[in-house]
């Protein structure tokens, strides 16, 4: 006797988003951007769209921005009974290379995770290669530092529920926000991207900051599971070191940390063997850490997208959870 799979049960507001997508498609819109806050379950929502498409043997291409997210997405899709024979999930660089080598079958639907990246050349080249595909882009933050709009890529915008609605309806955790600026703002200088340069951030964050960071963690979030965002590898290592010296269990990870080591760090964090993860340029988008209760910001940014993505890592819903955001920058 075969095993009967039970698909994931979607929430009311997720089904509402899907209805919005189908209504837009009925009006012959083929390029649709869907906006829903971080932590509202966009991957699950996309998996349902993919499931319905693959039942009809339509090909689905799912494009992600970071390698860490690929496995997470695959697990959700399999759990929701998406027919993986008709679905390809890949990082944008991998997909771009396949398109160049003509090794990708034409998809019926292209799903774009973190769709605020979709204006970059790598994404537009993939979309240009498949002009007949329906393109559905999902994001919590439809904004870019350049202030350029998304009308070159998308023709309709579907807005999901607000952060406040999701908190009121126990879909996101409520939060306390503490802002204690420990930085010399005058030292900050912009670089060509429009955000602050790493060198100027180093100058703005004087060495005395580290003791203050620990003191404020102890005061506002002691022993809560925390993710700390720093601006470069060196500072992330220093912060982790200082926390360990004070008797906390902290681990440091960054973009160059070996994949297995990063996975192990996250596993130890989830299991409570480590309480503090200090990172540089990681865990910003799409990484799901439901039991993270606190985020500490030590990376000043002009990017609203980066700010929202980082602060809301602590707001995944769990019963009786109160998220704490400590913003030092």
* Helix/strand/coil for 44: helix
Q: Are strands 226-230 and 276-280 parallel, antiparallel or unpaired?
A: parallel
Q: What is the CATH number of the domain that holds 67?
A: 3.40.50.300
pLDDT of amino acid 1: 38
Both 163 and 193 in one domain: the answer is: no
- Domain end (from 168, 196, 229): 168
Whats the size of the chain, residue-wise?
329
Both 37 and 133 in one domain: the answer is: yes
Rounded to the nearest integer, the mean pLDDT of the chain is 86
Q: Where in the sequence is the domain holding 119, given as residue range(s)?
A: 12-168
Tell me the average pLDDT across 26-45. Answer: 92
| CB-count exposure of residue 2 (10 Å: 0-12, 13-18, 19+) | exposed
- Domain end (from 168, 196, 218): 168
Q: Which residue has the higher pLDDT, 231 or 85?
A: 85
Q: How far apart are CA 38 and CA 36, in angstroms?
A: 7
Q: Indicate the range of 59-63, 64-68, 227-231 predicted with least confidence.
A: 64-68
pLDDT of amino acid 211: 67
> pLDDT by residue (tens digit) across 311-324?
888 999 999 999 99
- Domain end (from 118, 134, 168): 168
Given a cut of 90, whether residue 126 has pLDDT beyond it is yes
C-alpha pair distances (Å), 135 with each of 3, 54, 153, 286: 33, 15, 9, 19
| % of residues, the chain, pLDDT over 90 | 57
> pLDDT by residue (tens digit) across 204-261?
556 556 668 899 999 999 999 999 998 888 889 999 999 999 999 999 998 788 888 8
Q: Is residue 4 part of a domain?
A: no
Both 190 and 101 in one domain: the answer is: no
pLDDT of amino acid 72: 85
Torsion (CA) 55, 58, 61, 62 in degrees, nearest 10: -30
């Amino acid at each position: 006797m075969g095993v009967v799979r039970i698909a994931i049960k979607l929430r009311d507001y997720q089904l509402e988003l899907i209805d919005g997508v189908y209504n837009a498609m009925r009006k012959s819109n083929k390029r649709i951007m869907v906006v829903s806050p971080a932590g509202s379950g966009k991957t699950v929502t996309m998996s349902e769209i993919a499931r319905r498409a693959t039942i009809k043997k339509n090909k689905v291409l799912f494009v992600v921005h970071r390698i860490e997210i690929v496995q997470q997405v695959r697990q959700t899709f399999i759990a929701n009974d998406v027919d993986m024979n008709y679905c390809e999930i890949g990082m944008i660089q991998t997909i771009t290379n396949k398109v160049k080598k003509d090794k990708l079958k034409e998809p019926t639907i292209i799903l774009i995770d973190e769709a605020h990246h979709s204006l970059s050349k790598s994404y537009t080249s993939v979309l240009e290669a498949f002009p007949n595909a329906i393109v559905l882009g999902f994001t919590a933050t439809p904004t870019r530092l350049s202030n350029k709009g998304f009308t070159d890529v998308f023709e309709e915008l579907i807005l999901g529920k607000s952060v406040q609605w999701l908190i009121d309806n126990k879909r996101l955790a409520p939060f306390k926000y503490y802002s204690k600026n420990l930085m010399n703002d005058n030292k900050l200088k912009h670089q060509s991207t429009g955000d602050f340069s790493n060198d100027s951030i180093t100058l703005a964050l004087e060495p005395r900051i580290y003791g203050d960071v620990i003191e404020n963690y102890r005061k506002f979030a002691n022993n809560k599971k925390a993710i700390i965002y720093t601006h470069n590898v060196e500072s992330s290592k220093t912060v982790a070191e200082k926390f360990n010296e004070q008797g906390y269990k902290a681990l440091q990870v960054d973009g160059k940390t070996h994949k297995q080591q990063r996975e192990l760090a996250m596993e130890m964090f989830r299991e409570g063997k480590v309480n503090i993860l200090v990172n540089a340029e990681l865990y910003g988008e799409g990484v799901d850490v439901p039991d993270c209760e606190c985020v500490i910001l030590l990376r000043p940014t002009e990017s609203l997208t980066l700010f929202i993505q980082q602060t809301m890592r602590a707001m995944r819903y769990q019963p009786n959870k109160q998220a704490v955001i400590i913003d030092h920058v």
